[in-house]
Amino acid sequence: MRTRSLAAVAAAMVVALSACAESGGTEPAKPSDVSKDLTTENITLTLAYTDDPPTQALIDAFHALHPNITIKGQQTPFSDYVKSIKLSMAADTPPDIAEYNPGAMRSLVPAGLIYDLTPYEKLYGWGEAFPASSLEVLRSNQAAKEYGTGGLYAVPGALSVLGVYYNKSMVTAAGIADTPSTLADFEQDVAAVKKGGKAPLSLGGLQVGGFQLWNAFTNALGDESQYRNWVYGKPGSTIQTDAAKQAAQKVIDWVNAGYIPASANATADSDAQANFTNGKSAYLVTGNWAASAIEKAMGDNVGFFLLPQATAGDSVVASGASVAYSISSKTKHPNEAAAFLDFMRDAKAATVQFDTGFMPVNNETAVQATGVRADIAADFKKVVADNGIVPFPDFASPNMIDRLTSGVQGLLSKKTTPDAFLTSLQESWTEYHG
Partner 1 sequence: MADTAPLARRRPRRRARRVVALLYIAPAALVYVAFAIWPAIHTVYLSFLDWDGILPATSAGFSNYTDVFTDPTLGPALWHAIVLIVFFAVIPCALGLLMTALLQGNVRGMTAFRVIFFLPQVLPLVAVGITWRWLYNDDGLVNQGLRWIGLGGVTRAWLGDYNLALVALGLIGTWAMSGLCMVLFLAGAQKIDVALYEAVALDGGGPVRRFFAVTLPALRGEITIASVITTIAALASFDLVFVTTNGGPVDRTTVPGLLVYRLAFNESDIGRASALAVVLTLIVIVFVTAIRTLTREKA
Residues within the interface to partner 1 (CB under 8 A) = 1, 10, 13-14, 17-18, 21-24, 26, 82-83, 86-87, 90, 103, 106-108, 110-111, 113, 205-207, 261-268, 271, 398-399, 401-402, 405-407, 409-410, 412-413, 415-416
Nearest to partner 1 of 53, 398 (CB atom): 398
> What are 70's strand-pairing partners?
44
State in angstroms the smallest separation of the CB of 105 from partner 1: 9
User: 357: burial class by Cβ within 10 Å (0-12, 13-18, 19+)?
Assistant: buried
- Whether the Cβ atoms of residue 89 and residue 315 lie closer than 8 Å to each other: no
> What are 320's strand-pairing partners?
161
Nearest to partner 1 of 240, 263 (CB atom): 263
Beta-carbon neighbour count of residue 258 at 10 Å?
Answer: 13
Nearest to partner 1 of 233, 303 (CB atom): 233
The set of residues, in sequence order, having a beta carbon less than 8 Å from that of 357 and lying 6+ positions away, is 53, 54, 288, 289, 290, 291, 292, 293, 373
- Please name which of 191, 187, 119 lies closest in space to residue 151, comparing C-alpha atoms: 119
Report the SS3 class of residue 412: helix
State in angstroms the smallest separation of the CB of 297 from partner 1: 19
State in angstroms the smallest separation of the CB of 239 from partner 1: 18
State in angstroms the smallest separation of the CB of 203 from partner 1: 11
Nearest to partner 1 of 50, 405 (CB atom): 405
Residue 300 is given by DSSP the state G
State in angstroms the smallest separation of the CB of 233 from partner 1: 15
Report the SS3 class of residue 5: helix
- Whether the Cβ atoms of residue 206 and residue 266 lie closer than 8 Å to each other: yes
Q: How far is CA 100 from the centre of its chain?
A: 10
> What are 99's strand-pairing partners?
325
State in angstroms the smallest separation of the CB of 111 from partner 1: 5
Nearest to partner 1 of 84, 172 (CB atom): 84
Calpha distance 209→268 (Å, rounded)? 8
State in angstroms the smallest separation of the CB of 116 from partner 1: 16
Nearest to partner 1 of 176, 422 (CB atom): 422
Nearest to partner 1 of 86, 373 (CB atom): 86
The set of residues, in sequence order, having a beta carbon less than 8 Å from that of 434 and lying 6+ positions away, is 145
State in angstroms the smallest separation of the CB of 184 from partner 1: 29
Which residues in 168-306 belong to E strands, given as ranges? 201-202, 283-287, 302-305
Calpha distance 208→227 (Å, rounded)? 18
Nearest-10 crossing angle of helices 347-355, 55-65: 150
Nearest to partner 1 of 262, 366 (CB atom): 262
Nearest to partner 1 of 121, 269 (CB atom): 269
State in angstroms the smallest separation of the CB of 193 from partner 1: 18
